[in-house]
A and B are shown apart, each in its own frame.
Chain A
Amino acid sequence: MEQLKTIGRELAMGSQGGFGQSKEFLDLVKSIGEARSKAEEDRIVLHEIETLKKRLSEPDIPKRKMKEYLIRLVYVEMLGHDASFAYIHAVKMTHDDNLLLKRTGYLAVTLFLSDDHDLIILIVNTIQKDLRSDNYLVVCAALNAVCKLINDETIPAVLPQVVELLGHSKDAVRKKAIMALHRFYQKSSSAVSHLLTNFRKRLCDNDPGVMGATLCPLFDLITIDANPYKDLIVSFVSILKQVAERRLPKSYDYHSMPAPFIQIRLLKILALLGRDDKQASEKMYTVVGDIFRKCDSSSNIGNAILYECICCVSSIFPNPKLLESATEVISRFLKSDSHNLRYMGIDALSRLIKISPEIAEQHQLAVIDCLEDPDDTLKRKTFELLYKMTKSSNVEVIVDRMIDYMICINDNHYKTYIASRCVELAEQFAPSNHWFIQTMNKVFEHAGDLVNVKVAHNLMRLIAEGFGEDDDTADSQLRSSAVESYLGIIGEPKLPSVFLQVICWVLGEYGTADGKYSASYITGKLCDVAEAYSNDETVKAYAITAIMKIYAFEISAGRKVDMLPECQSLVEELSAAHSTDLQQRAYELQAVIGLDARVVESIMPSDASCEDIEVDKDLSFLDNYVRLAIEKGAQPYIPESERSGMLNVSTFRGQDQHEASTHGLRFEAYELPKAPIPAKVVPIASSTELVPVPEPSYSREIPQAAPVSSVSDVGSSGLKLHLDGVQKKWGRPTYSSTPPSTSNSTSQKTVNGVSQDGRSTANSKARDSYDSKRTQVEINPEKQKLAASLFGGSSKTERKQSSANHKVAKASSQAAEPSQVSNTTVVASVGTNLQPPPDLLDFSEPTVTTSAPLLDPFKQLEGLLDSNAAVASTANHGGGNASKEPDIMSLYADMPLSGHSSSTENTISTHGDDANLMSGFSNAARIDHGGPTVEHSTQQLSKGPNPKDSLEKDALVRQMGVNPSSQNPNLFRDLLG
């Protein structure tokens, strides 16, 4: 045993170059490796901390010992324990002259300290000194520390030296200096804004490594604002060209690809520079096309470059040839067995469908495979893709899939995310109201309290308002189906609170509306809810209010109300509740029940939750009462301004109003609370009866017709229905934009009428295509069924013909007369069909032939839009697409007839400008490591397993208890493959 330990120590020392750790450290590692539980590990580490504390407090610690203590402390802190007592020792060690100690000190401080730590001030001086050192390794160590430790306050202290180092003779130093400067820029852009030209200068560095490092800060700068760097496009393109043509020294090859990381960076930069810039993009086409052709797709890194090319192509101004190559690569990715490649393929696809939506169709089966893959990451990426390609024709399938997935995961973060996605898609594309309600039910049931409360309010409002189709029976059908589904669900245990609130509200409002269920049945259910969730006050409040509504409706319908015993006990319980809100609701209920039908009718009108509450600020309904009182001899009210006796008060207020607020009494009323609850409400027809209500304070509450807003306490203000600003994408599109109190309802309605027309046609169209799909579905196997429903198989033929005109067709389908317009587009594309097939994808050739016939449908479209200006402004999809129209046209018109050849010439001519840069690269002859290193590395790579060595190590490993389960003695064999 003891012997083995010694071997282990020697081995560890041997591989480390003769400077090993002490037995104590080995013992620590060993005991932690053997620890069976977290608690045991913590105990060991705490013990170690105690030991180290004691040791560090000893005087005259030898430096070598100190170094080891620090390494041990770093280790301890990595395990998650505080080692702050030793920070000062690490700082001291950075002052040492010995390189090894200095580096250890720097390592420790960079791991220990944050950039705003108090001790930093003690290091800045050392860093300044080290940056000036003759030994470049010291400079490098200091630059490493600079990147981590310097914050915006200390930047000025080291900035001059770092800038100076940009011209250092060693390329390693220049590289790190650039990185340090980049870091400064990230921390405080203003401090280094005058130095940004340095990055441009370093782009022309003789050493390709330094040039590559410069791309990092440039990428950041271009991400923020691309415009000042447009002039560099030519240089970037030529650098990329040279790299791709293997003009760099061999030492930059990685897995036989020339400088792949530099290529990737450059492609990212070009993608940013070419975004929405046709002219800039044209300069890039050739080089990107070259890389597509040259790239080796068998290696991982080659695929990384190809993926980056696709990202670039999808970002810059579209070029048909490049899109074609991108599509090819994507299909290769998607067909691959590697999950990684399929993941990248899905990601690339979701980027590309923004430009050419039709390519998703070719890969439908692959996408479905990815969706059914056990790999969560891949699945989520695929959902992301599906989200982007959702249309009203496939929304049902996609949302169903999402919900199924949502049910089976536990990760709350992602559950919330996907639930919000479901809601968003459902609101945007729901094919029918019934489906929408069902979907929302499912989302609530399974994601429950993770869903935003707003969503619940939207749902309630939707049920209340109906869907904008003036068909009342449809609305009431919808309501009764909602009631029915909720009565089914309500018995299930542990429903989320938000969902219960919706259920209670809907049952209260519409539970008895269709006469199918008796009031006592519904109130019974509501009592059960209040009882089952007795510690959720909000739910109880919703339940009691719902009960009150149901009784109110009963009374106003002239039926006799018998309160259920459990209801009675609930009311009693709540009137003694701690929450004043619940108490108030309970008292309100009791008060309402005691009133006669006419009063109840006016304070609680049925199905009036959407009526506007009008505020009568003059309190005119009190006039009668006032008159009576005056007749009985009461003093009339004198308005403040007319009061003579109070003159001094008013003058006092008039003179120094602002002073009055600072000292003395305040005479003006407190500001009105912000809550949008109107104090008095108009639906009260006969005011005289109202006044004698025993508790006047309730009269303020009771008349509120909108039950949602009767959640009036301040605490639950978040639960209120926010009528303005709420996103509402279907149903009556204009409602949300009008604040509830304004009364411009006439204009609103006309707008609604117009927009409804547009919507319903679109709707019916969507439904048609869905139905036709269903029939096709039954013939095919399950997967194709899914594919068809996802990718809209029925429209396939039309799509293929008009692939180039896809956007046009889409826009037209939203317009009021889809058939006419799409007919013309088909004609147009038939015209192009006469040409050889590849031209279908090529935008450049058919410009002349297609543009003429295409003009017609747009003229028509424009005409339509003019007449229906309201449609464009309110129905957002129609308007949005229509406004895109000029873009599409310019896409056809601006395309150069010979895009390719001209851009090639461009780059060739610009090539001359960068000749010195190019020669710079070839001049950087790395004599010391060119061929030899490559051989060396291949030798290293091909060194086979060394069984003896490995077995020894393995034995040691087992001995140390570091990885007892290890079975593969040659641990990194897979690396060599």
Chain B
Amino acid sequence: MIRAVMVINTQGKPRLAKFYDIQAVEKQRELIRNVYGVLCSRAENVSNFIEAESFFGPDSRIVYKHFATLYFVFVFDSSENELAMLDLIQVFVETLDKCFKNVCELDMVFNYSKMHTVLDEIILGGQVLETNSTEVMKAVEEISRLETASNAISLVPKSVSSWRSR
């Protein structure tokens, strides 16, 4: 089972954090800090795997991938395969890339809820749900289409349209 998904930038600021085990807010913060502490001490050109038993409890490991300014981190237990998790990160990032057209850190900051939508299509309740980025994209697009549709009818208020036309 996947225990957590995190996206942390190279300065240690979380960009996305989702815990599939229930954790208190302070604990989450501490975990993110710990993970970042380990990540930034890793040299270049080493493996993408880390043992995480010291802070996530027994039978837990981390797979991470470093893209530009961001670390993508998956925490999981022995029922998953490390290399496969590495590819799952790839799927996640590919999907984000398709979603935002050349994704960068800023996209993630401003589209926080969309990030979650994408992630929820890939992982549900700690289990891998879908691994095809095209499929994920289709689902996400359908959601946003419906969202905007319902939006346009019911509640684009004046303030927004005036603000946008500025």
Taking the nearest CB of chain B, how far is it from the CB of A31, in angstroms?
12
- Nearest residue (CB) in A for B88 is A261
> Across the interface, do B157 and A29 meet the contact criterion of CB distance under 8 Å?
no
Mind listing 10 A-B residue pairs with CB under 8 Å?
A: A64-B157, A260-B84, A413-B53, A414-B54, A929-B138, A933-B134, A963-B11, A966-B69, A971-B104, A972-B104
B162 within 8 A of A: no
Could you say which residues of chain A place their CB within 8 Å of the CB of B14? 78-79
Could you say which residues of chain A place their CB within 8 Å of the CB of B164? 13, 18
Interface core residue of B10, B81, B107, B116 (most chain A CB under 10 Å) = B81
If the complex has contacts A378-B46, A971-B67, are A179 and B127 also in contact, measured as CB distance less than 8 A? yes
A143 vs B139: C-alpha distance when bound (angstroms): 15
> Across the interface, do B160 and A64 meet the contact criterion of CB distance under 8 Å?
yes
Binds B, one of A297-305, A423-431, A618-626, A754-762: A297-305
Taking the nearest CB of chain A, how far is it from the CB of B13, in angstroms?
7
7 further interface pairs, Cβ-Cβ under 8 Å (given A209-B135, A260-B131):
A80-B32, A147-B125, A179-B124, A261-B128, A343-B82, A933-B134, A956-B106
A115 within 8 A of B: yes
Among B129, B131, B150, B157, contact of A176 (Cβ-Cβ < 8 Å):
B129
A114 vs B93: C-alpha distance when bound (angstroms): 28
Could you say which residues of chain A place their CB within 8 Å of the CB of B134? 251, 929, 933, 936-937
Counting from the closest, the 10 A-B pairs by CB-CB distance are A80-B29, A413-B54, A304-B83, A147-B125, A339-B47, A375-B46, A971-B68, A100-B147, A12-B110, A963-B69
Within 8 A of B (CB), among A143-185: 143-144, 147-148, 172, 175-176, 179-180, 182-183
Within 8 A of A (CB), among B26-40: 26, 28-29, 32
Could you say which residues of chain A place their CB within 8 Å of the CB of B93? 972, 975
- Nearest residue (CB) in A for B123 is A179
Contact with A along B109-146 (1 / 0, CB 8 A): 11111101100100011111111111100110011101
Could you say which residues of chain A place their CB within 8 Å of the CB of B25? 77, 80-82
- Nearest residue (CB) in B for A6 is B166
A594 vs B94: C-alpha distance when bound (angstroms): 85
Contact with A along B14-56 (1 / 0, CB 8 A): 1011100010011011001000000000010111111101100
- Nearest residue (CB) in A for B151 is A100
> Across the interface, do B138 and A963 meet the contact criterion of CB distance under 8 Å?
no
- Nearest residue (CB) in B for A20 is B110
> Across the interface, do A972 and B69 meet the contact criterion of CB distance under 8 Å?
no
If the complex has contacts A17-B148, A62-B157, A98-B150, are A74 and B112 also in contact, measured as CB distance less than 8 A? yes
> Across the interface, do A137 and B143 meet the contact criterion of CB distance under 8 Å?
yes
Among B83, B90, B135, contact of A344 (Cβ-Cβ < 8 Å):
B83
A950 vs B101: C-alpha distance when bound (angstroms): 10
Among A99, A219, A974, contact of B146 (Cβ-Cβ < 8 Å):
A99
Could you say which residues of chain B place their CB within 8 Å of the CB of A32? 13
A79 vs B36: C-alpha distance when bound (angstroms): 13
A595 vs B18: C-alpha distance when bound (angstroms): 72
Could you say which residues of chain B place their CB within 8 Å of the CB of A111? 18, 116
A342 vs B128: C-alpha distance when bound (angstroms): 25
Contact with B along A355-384 (1 / 0, CB 8 A): 000000000000000000111111010000
Taking the nearest CB of chain B, how far is it from the CB of A179, in angstroms?
4
A251 vs B50: C-alpha distance when bound (angstroms): 32
Taking the nearest CB of chain A, how far is it from the CB of B74, in angstroms?
14
A575 within 8 A of B: no
> Across the interface, do A971 and B103 meet the contact criterion of CB distance under 8 Å?
yes
If the complex has contacts A219-B79, A254-B131, A304-B81, are A339 and B102 also in contact, measured as CB distance less than 8 A? no
- Nearest residue (CB) in A for B144 is A17
Taking the nearest CB of chain A, how far is it from the CB of B72, in angstroms?
11
> Across the interface, do B148 and A19 meet the contact criterion of CB distance under 8 Å?
yes
Among B101, B109, B111, B132, contact of A251 (Cβ-Cβ < 8 Å):
B132
- Nearest residue (CB) in B for A257 is B87
A254 vs B131: C-alpha distance when bound (angstroms): 8
Taking the nearest CB of chain A, how far is it from the CB of B77, in angstroms?
11
Could you say which residues of chain A place their CB within 8 Å of the CB of B133? 937
Interface residues of B (CB under 8 A from A): 9-11, 13-14, 16-18, 22, 25-26, 28-29, 32, 43, 45-51, 53-54, 67-69, 79, 81-84, 86-88, 90-91, 93-94, 97-98, 100-107, 109-114, 116-117, 120, 124-135, 138-139, 142-144, 146-148, 150-151, 154-155, 157, 159-160, 164
If the complex has contacts A223-B79, A965-B10, A972-B93, are A377 and B105 also in contact, measured as CB distance less than 8 A? no
Taking the nearest CB of chain B, how far is it from the CB of A373, in angstroms?
8
Within 8 A of B (CB), among A508-567: none
- Nearest residue (CB) in B for A929 is B134
A827 vs B148: C-alpha distance when bound (angstroms): 81
> Across the interface, do B104 and A957 meet the contact criterion of CB distance under 8 Å?
yes
**Interface of A (DSSP majority class):** helix
Could you say which residues of chain B place their CB within 8 Å of the CB of A103? 113, 117, 143, 147
A251 vs B29: C-alpha distance when bound (angstroms): 38
A971 vs B93: C-alpha distance when bound (angstroms): 12
A20 vs B114: C-alpha distance when bound (angstroms): 12
A797 within 8 A of B: no
> Across the interface, do A960 and B157 meet the contact criterion of CB distance under 8 Å?
no
Taking the nearest CB of chain A, how far is it from the CB of B76, in angstroms?
13
- Nearest residue (CB) in B for A10 is B164
A148 vs B4: C-alpha distance when bound (angstroms): 13
A949 vs B129: C-alpha distance when bound (angstroms): 33
Taking the nearest CB of chain B, how far is it from the CB of A614, in angstroms?
44
- Nearest residue (CB) in B for A81 is B25
> Across the interface, do B53 and A107 meet the contact criterion of CB distance under 8 Å?
no
> Across the interface, do A971 and B43 meet the contact criterion of CB distance under 8 Å?
no
If the complex has contacts A103-B143, A223-B79, are A957 and B46 also in contact, measured as CB distance less than 8 A? no
Interface core residue of B9, B111, B117 (most chain A CB under 10 Å) = B111
Could you say which residues of chain B place their CB within 8 Å of the CB of A19? 148, 151, 160
If the complex has contacts A99-B146, A971-B103, are A377 and B155 also in contact, measured as CB distance less than 8 A? no
If the complex has contacts A307-B83, A377-B50, are A29 and B110 also in contact, measured as CB distance less than 8 A? yes
A949 vs B102: C-alpha distance when bound (angstroms): 9
Could you say which residues of chain A place their CB within 8 Å of the CB of B94? 941, 975
> Across the interface, do A98 and B151 meet the contact criterion of CB distance under 8 Å?
yes
A16 within 8 A of B: yes
Could you say which residues of chain B place their CB within 8 Å of the CB of A373? 46
Could you say which residues of chain B place their CB within 8 Å of the CB of A753? none
> Across the interface, do A100 and B106 meet the contact criterion of CB distance under 8 Å?
no
> Across the interface, do A963 and B112 meet the contact criterion of CB distance under 8 Å?
no
A21 within 8 A of B: yes
> Across the interface, do B109 and A29 meet the contact criterion of CB distance under 8 Å?
yes
> Across the interface, do B105 and A75 meet the contact criterion of CB distance under 8 Å?
no
Contact with B along A250-264 (1 / 0, CB 8 A): 011011000011001
- Nearest residue (CB) in A for B107 is A15
Within 8 A of B (CB), among A98-141: 98-100, 103-104, 107, 111, 114-115, 135, 137
Could you say which residues of chain A place their CB within 8 Å of the CB of B157? 62, 64
